[in-house]
Amino acid sequence: MVDKTLFGSNLFAICGDIHANLESLDAVFFDAKSKGVSQIICTGDIVGYGASPSRCLKLIRDLNCPTVLGNHDSYAATGDGLNEFNPNAMSAILWTREHLSDDEKAWLVNLPMQIDLSDKVVAGRQAARLVHSSLIDPEKWCYILKPENAEAALRVQESDIVFFGHTHVPSLFSFNSETKEFRSKSSVDAGVYELEPGWKHLVNPGSVGQPRDRDNRASYAIYDSQAGTIEIRRVEYDIATAQKKIKAAGLPLRNAERLSHGR
């Protein structure tokens, strides 16, 4: 059981794309505790690829934190076809289905596609929403990787901030509705960034369990709702143990190897 008293300030940790990597999730939670965050907010994809789906699910469930449905979560919890997945991802989904209980699958499949955070957890000067992929047809699991995709989403975005995941790359895109100015920061470095008032922002905290920006450290973000800042944080974790678990489970070797390279 996670001790919720660990999180006791006005800061919010945004994390996602955990992908059943217990070692990276533990490291992120430890780092978040050291920074005094008040609550975890999860952008989805708790399971898939890795070998500890139930343990990661328990940690997130025990926190009772705002969590949205990810595509790997959805497919692992149902019998839906896997045509959109590559062989390694497909194999991991099939393995995960066999290793989740009915209760765990029911919890996953009932997660919402998006959450309005404005009056639930984030009590600051900027309204916020949470989604795994995109608020534009979220059930299609579109990737916001290219600047043109981000700008299209921002032009119709109503909330000041949308936290999203899915790409495994920490990113920050911003749009000013009055001046029509667009700013793109894909694969952003660790550091603190201002979320300017009057702008719409798309924030991706990167991936906890399977980074894909050539940095193998776990990635998450801390949102300061009062200061209006987002801090991208990178955390070292026990990659070797995570890899050993993947290999011992008989999951694709590629799922273990890529953890070393962050891609």
Burial track 72-94 (b if 16+ CB lie within 10 A, e otherwise)? bbbbbbeeeeeeebeeebbbbbe
Within its chain, how far is the Cα of 240 from the centroid? 22
CA distance to 70, 100, 107, 130, per residue, from 55 (Å):
17, 10, 14, 23
Q: What is the pLDDT of residue 5?
A: 42
Query: pLDDT band for position 108 (50/70/90)?
Result: very high
pTM, 2 dp: 0.93
**Residue 93 near residue 72 (C-beta atoms within 8 A):** yes
What whole-number distance in Å separates Cα of residue 25 and Cα of residue 21? 6
Mean pLDDT in residue range 76-99:
92
* Fold (CATH) for 4-261: Purple Acid Phosphatase; chain A, domain 2 (3.60.21)
pLDDT in tens, 124-180: 557 899 999 999 999 999 999 999 999 999 999 999 999 999 999 999 999 999 999
pLDDT at 3: 47
Give the pLDDT confidence of 168-219 residue by residue, as tens digits: 999 999 999 999 999 999 889 999 999 999 999 999 999 999 999 999 999 9
φ and ψ at 90, to 5 degrees? -60, -45
**Integer Cα distance of 15 and 223 in angstroms:** 11
Question: What pLDDT sits at residue 80?
Answer: 84
The answer to whether 100 and 75 have CB atoms below 8 angstroms apart is no
